[in-house]
Amino acid sequence: MILTKPRDPRFITIRRGGTLSDANHRLLALWAAACAEHVLHFFEEAQPDDERPRQAIELTHAWTRGEITMRQAHKAAFVANAAARELSGAAKFAALAAGQAVAVAHVAAHELGAAAYAIRAARAAAHEDEREQAGRQECHWQREQLPDEIRELVLDDQRLRNEACWSVFDC
C-alpha cells in the first residue's frame, strides 16, 4: 500500500482541510501523467488495440483543464487498472502508472504511484543486468520534469514513502 495513514495534509486540498492548493494539485496530476506517458509505449507495444491507459492519461489532462469531474477521473483509474490485470512486466506497470496518474484527481498522493510504477516499467523492460540503471535513469528523468512549485513537496514525499514504493526512488 503506497498511501499512508493518516494522510499527509500536504496532499489534501485546502477546501478539504489540507494545505494543497488547486494549482499545485493540477501540477501533481500533470507530472504524474508525464511519468505515465513516458513509459506508455511498453503497454502499447504489448496491447496495441487497447486504448484504456492512454485514455486515462488524456483524462488526467482533461481534469486539469476542468473538462471532466473528479468522479469521472476516478472511474478512469479503475478502467486503466483493468487493462493491467492480465499482463505482467513492463506492460502491466505502464498501465498501472496511467491508472495512478488519473487517480491523482481524486487523491493527490497517487502522484507517487504513477512515478513508482513508471520506474518499475522501465526496470522490467531492461535486460536483467541493466534494470537498476534503467530505474535510476527513469527516476532522474522524472525529477527533471518536476515543476519548481511542487519539486520539494514531491522529493520529500519520495523520501518519506520510498520504502512503501518498492524503494524505487533511490536515485
pLDDT tens digits, one per residue of 9-66: 999 999 999 999 999 999 999 999 999 999 999 999 999 999 999 999 999 999 999 9
Instruction: Tell whether pTM > 0.95.
Output: yes
Residue count (the chain): 171
Torsion of CA 54, 60, 61, 66, to 10 degrees: 140
pLDDT computed for residue 2 by the predictor: 84
| Strand ranges for 83-140 from DSSP E | none
